[in-house]
């Protein structure tokens, strides 16, 4: 049989989004939303400060030489507010120690240039903005140089920039950027500016002090929850605790009599109490005693969900996004066929900063300040909800965001805040309590994956098949994809990690069932890679065992055609002392993958005493092509590792259609005491830049399962570990 | 509404609130000290940690009426200029990522160092039960050790 269709190329999520949003695809994006962006041009509607000149949309300079750079991407902890402006400043020749940063409004200039949409997520920021930042910085530099050279009557090629000055070295003359900014701004923006040679870059390739750290150690960082608008009220909300449950009764008079309460507002599936202070709103909500019906999904629980997933795993229907060679034929030959099922749990985002949003809506305009990852989608969602054209809607991002993990791409909270503000006719800040935050999450979906392989005489998989049952991941953050889900029955995000395997397997088949659930599901740090790589990297371990080969050596052999994957694997094995001796009850687990454009291999050291699992060490070796800031990249991998451990612990389950647990006292997130020693090393493998924000957790889950297997002989084919009577210590 | 005179960061501060109001919301909404964060409301995550008479207290579950004239210290009270040993150590180790839990982390660490000038790993693990979703824990540990060292050097 010829190697199958070209879906490999068509369905890689990034390529897919690019297709969808470029050329005629742009029409598709706009179908479900009012025509939006034509009016929002240039630097947006935010006025320039007094005397400030916008040299380009990204660079503003005052006469007294204050250089301000615009930050398109949200700082959700990943360090992007340092790395992106540093790239720009490096090319520009700005004095990094005095550069000022501002957060961008939604405007087309600040869209992700590869996807043509403004958002922070998918480990895209470096991958998509690196070239643009450098080009933008270089363009502004050339404009400033041209303006200065004209004034000096010298050739621009004899001038350079440094420390926010244009320098003419041969005559030792300098001009501040501020002195020539107005002239420069009148010049045409060069489309193909010359980039500085690598050796001239002083801010790239080394660990910078993060620009956001000082404000985060003295309490001055303004998060969404800290935003104040003049005359602002505060709202506490309660919606039905179960999926789809509706408000049936409340004591409105009691709430209105409560101290500070201004109004009681009905919202979708629930009610908001608006008061002078948030605490008074909370007290009012308590007095209100809202009652809810059980909702239409009261039969939804772990058991019924489990049965549903199983049934779909057996009977589909399935789309076939990957078909290379004749996997079915090979598997049908019967001998040495290995098959196992792997289960991933629902996970909550549980960002440390609970969902919140400040909104000020009148008949004429809507202004929202939110800790958001998705200003553009929020603009369209607000437009639809308010029946207001997008040009009257301004979605600003709070300077700091207390974690995102994908949750803040969804515009539900800005819409809720705007509707409450419109109802009371005043600016309102809505803050969800933690229970609301977890119950109204859009969870990382539970998935069920069946892996099947046939081994050849040497123990290598001659054919491998993956069957994935998953609800959507992408739809809530990219509604334009709805027709693809409907017509093709696939979700590109939920297939990540399955479309392209790093291993050499000649016959490959991937089947996908898009499970429709009433439980809302969406992107969470690792998206589809997390659940799929848990299945794949656990299964590869099982194949190694079946073949009687060491788990590291087995992977190494299968990676003979993939030198970058092999390099991180080898180094992780070395750093992780793979061949060292282990005491009784101790084990080592290994996993490797390619996700978000980056190669990662991890070795986990575990000790298991009865039910107690101690993770003592996690070694990560990461190749994102090139490391732009080794300090920040290391933070991302360290933090990502802990996030991955949380994914082995902190599941959300459903009882009577309701999510449990619903607060952090029961969610089982890892603490400092459980955190292993983290050893992280980077490899500059070359090629396109990859992301480091989400790749860290991807291999943790299988590496932990593989380590527990190594320590105990028990194979964990589902997470969290508590399902197997285990706990972390 | 009741009037409370609180001793916050060495200064008497007046707040009007119902007596059941958690100290967290008095600090944030009455006194404008927003460094102290709301995370869970059930004293589980530690984002709201302040020091009361030098002891780490989760202010989301501590009613303002219980404060009396005891000395309340918030992250804003550590120093006026980020010069506190913990702040210096936090910057040197580049601890924060999203930063939302860090005020609480700092105040938990401050109470720890007050009780134990040079804590062991085990003592740090026992004292720092705050949740950080970004996973800054290993740097928190390093920064506490560094702060202890700085404290020793400055004596």
Buried b / exposed e across A223-240, counting CB within 10 Å, b at 16+?
A: bbbbbebeebbbbbbbbb
Q: Kindly state whether residues A162 and A281 are assigned to the same domain.
A: no
Name the residue among A221, A352, A675 with its Cβ closest to that of B137.
Answer: A675
Domain co-membership, A598 together with A560: yes
SS3 A158: helix
Under an 8 A CB cutoff, do A225 and B82 touch?
A: no
- Determine the average pLDDT of the residues in A243-264: 97
> CB–CB of A559/A504 below 8 Å?
yes
Residues A200, A278 within the same domain: no
Q: Considering only the top CATH level, what class is B85-153?
A: mainly alpha
**Alpha helices for A93-234 (secondary structure H):** 125-152, 177-185, 213-217
Write the DSSP assignment of A638-682 as a string of letters: HHHHHHHHHHTT-EEEEETTEEE--STTTS----GGGPPEEEEEE
**Which residues lie closer than 8 Å to B118 by C-beta, 6 or more apart?**
B148, B152
The answer to whether residues A405 and A448 belong to one domain is no
**Would residue A396 be called left, alpha or beta, if left means φ above 0 and alpha means ψ between -120 and 50 degrees?**
beta
**Is the pLDDT score of A15 beyond 70?**
no
Q: How far apart, in Å, are the Cα atoms of A552 and each of A276, A565, A692?
A: 61, 12, 23
Task: Give the three-class secondary structure for A176.
Answer: strand
Indicate whether A17 belongs to any domain. Answer: no
Q: What is the CATH number of the domain that holds A564?
A: 3.30.365.10
Q: Chain A closest CA to B98's CA: distance in Å?
A: 3
Strands A159-162 and A291-292: unpaired
B78 touches chain A (CB under 8 A): yes
Region for residue A41 given its phi and psi (left: phi exceeds 0; alpha: psi -120 to 50; beta: otherwise)? beta
Question: How confident is residue A49, by pLDDT bands cut at 50, 70 and 90?
Answer: low
Give mean pLDDT, residues B17-37: 97
What is the distance between the alpha carbons of residues A428 and A235, in angstroms, rounded to a whole number? 7
Chain B residues with CB inside 8 Å of A643's CB? 133-135
CA dist A708 and A613 (Å) reads: 8
Q: Are residues A149 and A98 in the same domain?
A: yes
Domain assignment present for A40:
no
DSSP-assigned letter for residue A692: -
pLDDT in tens, A645-666: 999 999 999 999 999 999 999 9
Domain shared by A197 and A318, yes or no = no
SS3 category, A721: helix
CATH, domain range B2-77: 3.10.20.30
Across chain B, mean pLDDT equals: 98
Structure tokens, A649: 């612990």
**Both tokens assigned to A354:** 């609970």
Which comes out higher in pLDDT, residue A480 or A227? A227
On the CB side of A724, CA atoms within 13 Å amount to: 23
Quick: pLDDT tens for A425-482: 999 999 999 999 999 999 999 999 999 999 999 999 999 999 999 999 999 999 989 9
Nearest CB neighbour to B141, from listed A220, A433, A672: A672
Calpha distance A222→A402 (Å, rounded)? 10
Q: Strands A586-595, B55-58: parallel, antiparallel or unpaired by DSSP?
A: unpaired
Give the tens place of pLDDT for each residue, A118-173.
Answer: 999 999 999 999 999 999 999 999 999 999 999 999 999 999 999 999 999 999 99
Mean pLDDT of B35-62: 98
Chain position carrying tokens 């560094």 = B146
Measured between CB atoms, which of B35, B41, B99 is closest to A434?
B41
Domain count, chain A: 3
The length of chain A in residues reads 729
Q: What's the rounded Cα separation, in Å, for the pair A94 and A165? A: 7
User: Is the predicted pLDDT of residue A23 greater than 50, yes or no?
Assistant: no
Mean local confidence (pLDDT), A97-114: 91
Q: What is the pLDDT of residues A377-430, one digit of tens each?
A: 999 999 999 999 999 999 999 999 999 999 999 999 999 999 999 999 999 999
Distance CA B17, CA B37 (A): 18
Q: What does pTM read for this prediction?
A: 0.94
Supply the range of the domain harboring residue A625.
302-346+443-728
Nearest to A449 by CA among A363, A552, A533: A533
CA distance A610 to A118: 49
Length of chain B: 155
Closest-CA distance, A643 to chain B, in angstroms, reads 6
Same domain, A524 and A637: yes
Report angle CA A667, A670, A671 to the nearest 5 degrees.
120
What pLDDT is attached to residue A32? 31
3-state secondary structure of A397: strand
The answer to whether residue A2 is domain-embedded is no
User: Which residues are bridge partners to A621 per DSSP?
Assistant: A601, A681
- How confident is residue A11, by pLDDT bands cut at 50, 70 and 90? very low
Q: Which residue of A has its CA nearest to B36?
A: A219
- Do A614 and A468 lie in one domain? The reply is yes
Does A306 have pLDDT greater than 70? yes
Question: How many angstroms away from the CA of B155 is the closest CA of chain A?
Answer: 23
Q: Could you please report the per-residue DSSP string of A266-291?
A: EETTEEEEEESSHHHHHHHHHHH--E
What's the pLDDT at A107? Answer: 87
Residue range A184-198: mean pLDDT, rounded:
95
Q: Are A182 and A64 in contact (CB under 8 A)?
A: no
Calpha distance B129→A701 (Å, rounded): 23
A76, A638, A672: residue with CB nearest B125: A672
pLDDT for position A108: 87
Query: Domain for residue A553, yes or no?
Result: yes
Q: Can you give the residue ranges of every domain in chain B?
A: 2-77, 85-153
From the list A440, A448, A406, the residue with the least C-alpha distance to A519 is A440
pLDDT tens for A52-69 read 899 989 999 999 999 999
pLDDT band at A94 (very low <50, low <70, confident <90, very high): very high
* Inter-residue contact B56 to B18 (CB < 8 Å): no
Quote the CA–CA distance of B132 and A594 in Å, as a whole number.
27
Looking at beta carbons, which residues of chain A come within 8 Å of B134? 77, 352, 403, 639, 642-643
Chain A CB within 8 Å of residue B37 CB:
yes
Residue A474 sits in the same domain as residue A365: no
What pLDDT, on the 0 to 100 scale, is given for residue A48?
A: 66
A598 - beta bridge partners? A595
Summarize pLDDT for B89-113 with one digit per residue, the tens. Answer: 999 999 999 999 999 999 999 999 9
Cα-trace Rg, chain A: 27
ipTM confidence: 0.98
Concatenate the DSSP letters of all residues of A55-97 into one string. Answer: EETTEEE-TT--EEEEE-S--SSSSHHHHHHHHHHHHHT--GG
Q: Do A207 and A245 have their domain in common?
A: no
Given A186, A211, A236, the domain boundary residue is A211
Provide the sign of the torsion angle of the four alpha carbons A387, A389, A392, A398, taken in this order: positive
Q: Is residue A438 part of a domain?
A: no
Pairing assessment for the beta strands A586-595 and A598-609 based on DSSP bridges: antiparallel
pLDDT per residue as tens digits for the range A535-559: 999 999 999 999 999 999 999 999 9
User: How do residues B108-144 score in pLDDT, each as one tens digit?
Assistant: 999 999 999 999 999 999 999 999 999 999 999 999 9
Cβ of B62 under 8 Å from any chain A Cβ?
Answer: no
CA angle A658, A646, A211 (to 5 degrees): 115
Residues 95-154 of B with CB under 8 A from A: 95-103, 106, 124-126, 128-141
Mark whether A415 and A283 lie in a shared domain.
yes
Residue after which a domain boundary falls, among A389, A407, A431: A431
Q: Which tokens is A348 given? A: 């909550």
Place of tokens 């994956």: A449
User: Can you read off the two tokens belonging to residue A406?
Assistant: 């994908």
Q: Is A277 exposed, middle or buried (0-12, 13-18, 19+ CB in 10 A)?
A: buried
A585 Cβ contact partners less than 8 Å away, ≥ 6 residues apart: A607, A608, A609, A711, A712
The predicted structure's pLDDT at residue A513: 98
Cα–Cα nearest to B43, from B65, B27, B22, B68: B22
């Amino acid at each position: 049989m010829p190697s199958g269709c070209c879906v490999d190329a068509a369905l890689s999520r990034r390529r897919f989004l690019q297709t969808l949003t470029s050329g005629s695809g742009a029409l598709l994006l706009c179908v479900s939303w009012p025509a939006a962006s034509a009016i929002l041009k240039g630097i947006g509607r935010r006025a320039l400060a007094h005397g400030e000149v916008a040299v380009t949309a990204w660079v503003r300079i005052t006469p007294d030489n204050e250089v301000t750079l615009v930050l398109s991407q949200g700082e959700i902890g990943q360090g992007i507010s340092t790395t992106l402006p540093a790239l720009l400043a490096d090319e520009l020749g700005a004095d990094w120690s005095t550069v000022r940063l501002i957060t961008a409004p939604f405007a087309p200039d600040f869209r992700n240039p590869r996807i043509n949409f403004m958002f922070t997520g998918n480990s895209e920021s470096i991958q998509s903005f690196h070239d643009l930042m450098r080009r933008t910085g270089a363009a502004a530099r050339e404009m400033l140089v041209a303006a200065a050279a004209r004034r000096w009557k010298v050739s621009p090629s004899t001038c350079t920039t440094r420390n926010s000055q244009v320098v003419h070295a041969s005559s030792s003359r300098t001009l501040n950027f501020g002195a020539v900014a107005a002239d420069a701004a009148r010049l045409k923006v060069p489309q193909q500016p010359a980039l500085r040679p690598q050796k001239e870059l002083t801010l790239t390739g080394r660990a910078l002090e993060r620009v956001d750290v000082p404000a985060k150690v003295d309490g001055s960082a303004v998060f969404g929850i800290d935003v104040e608008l003049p005359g602002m009220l505060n709202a506490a909300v309660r919606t039905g605790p179960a999926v789809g449950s509706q408000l049936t009764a409340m004591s409105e008079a009691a709430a209105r009599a409560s101290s500070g309460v201004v109004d009681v507002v009905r919202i979708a599936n629930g009610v908001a109490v608006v008061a002078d202070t948030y605490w008074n709103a909370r007290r009012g909500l308590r007095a209100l005693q809202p009652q809810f019906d059980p909702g239409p999904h009261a039969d939804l629980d772990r058991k019924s969900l489990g049965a549903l997933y199983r049934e779909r795993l057996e009977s589909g229907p399935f789309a076939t996004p990957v078909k290379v060679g004749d996997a079915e034929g090979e598997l049908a030959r019967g001998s040495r066929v290995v098959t196992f099922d792997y289960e991933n749990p629902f996970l909550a985002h549980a960002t440390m900063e609970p969902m919140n949003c400040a909104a000020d809506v009148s008949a004429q305009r809507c202004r929202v300040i939110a800790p958001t990852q998705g200003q553009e989608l929020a603009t369209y969602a607000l437009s639809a909800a308010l029946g207001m054209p997008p040009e009257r809607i301004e979605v600003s991002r709070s300077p700091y965001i207390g974690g995102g993990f994908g949750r803040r791409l969804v515009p539900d909270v800005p819409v809720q805040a705007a509707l409450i503000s419109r109802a009371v006719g005043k600016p309102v800040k809505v803050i969800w309590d933690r229970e609301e935050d977890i119950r109204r999450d859009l969870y990382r979906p539970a998935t069920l994956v069946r892996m099947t392989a046939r081994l050849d005489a040497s123990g290598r998989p001659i054919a491998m098949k993956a069957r994935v049952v998953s609800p959507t991941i992408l739809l809530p953050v990219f509604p334009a994809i709805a027709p693809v889900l409907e017509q093709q029955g696939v979700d590109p995000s939920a297939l990540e990690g399955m479309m392209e395997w790093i291993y050499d397997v000649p016959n490959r088949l991937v089947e996908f069932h898009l499970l429709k659930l009433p439980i809302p599901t969406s992107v969470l740090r690792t998206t589809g890679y997390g659940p799929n790589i848990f299945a794949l990297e656990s299964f590869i371990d099982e194949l190694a065992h079946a073949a009687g080969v060491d788990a590291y050596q087995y992977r190494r052999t299968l990676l003979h055609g993939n030198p970058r994957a092999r390099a991180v694997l080898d180094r992780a094995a070395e750093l992780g002392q793979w061949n060292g001796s282990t005491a009784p009850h101790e084990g080592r687990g290994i996993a490797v993958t390619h996700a978000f454009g980056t190669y990662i291999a991890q070795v986990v050291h575990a000790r298991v005493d009865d039910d107690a699992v101690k993770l003592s060490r996690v070694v990560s070796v990461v190749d994102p092509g090139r490391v732009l800031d080794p300090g920040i990249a290391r933070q991302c991998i360290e933090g990502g590792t802990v996030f991955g451990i949380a994914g082995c612990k902190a599941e959300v389950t459903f009882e009577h259609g309701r999510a449990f647990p619903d607060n952090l006292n029961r969610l089982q997130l890892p603490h400092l005491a459980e955190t292993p020693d983290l050893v992280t090393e980077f490899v500059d493998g070359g090629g396109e830049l990859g992301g480091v924000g989400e790749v860290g957790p991807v291999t943790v889950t299988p590496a932990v399962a593989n380590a527990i297997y190594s320590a105990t002989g028990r194979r964990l084919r589902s997470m969290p570990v508590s399902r197997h009577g285990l706990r972390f210590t | 509404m009741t009037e409370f005179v609180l001793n916050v960061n060495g200064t008497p501060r007046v707040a009007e609130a119902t007596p059941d109001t958690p100290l967290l919301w008095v600090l944030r909404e009455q006194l404008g000290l927003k460094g102290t964060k709301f995370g869970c409301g059930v004293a589980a995550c530690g984002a709201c940690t302040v020091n009361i008479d030098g002891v780490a207290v989760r202010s989301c579950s501590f009613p303002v009426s219980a404060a009396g004239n005891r000395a309340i210290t918030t992250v804003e009270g550590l120093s006026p200029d980020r010069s506190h040993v913990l702040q210096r150590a936090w910057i040197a180790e580049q601890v924060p990522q999203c930063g939302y839990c860090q005020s609480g982390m700092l105040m938990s660490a401050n109470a720890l160092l007050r009780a134990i000038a040079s804590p062991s790993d085990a003592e740090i693990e026992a004292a720092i039960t705050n949740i950080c979703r970004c996973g800054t824990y290993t740097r928190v540990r390093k920064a506490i050790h560094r702060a202890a060292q700085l404290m020793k050097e400055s004596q």
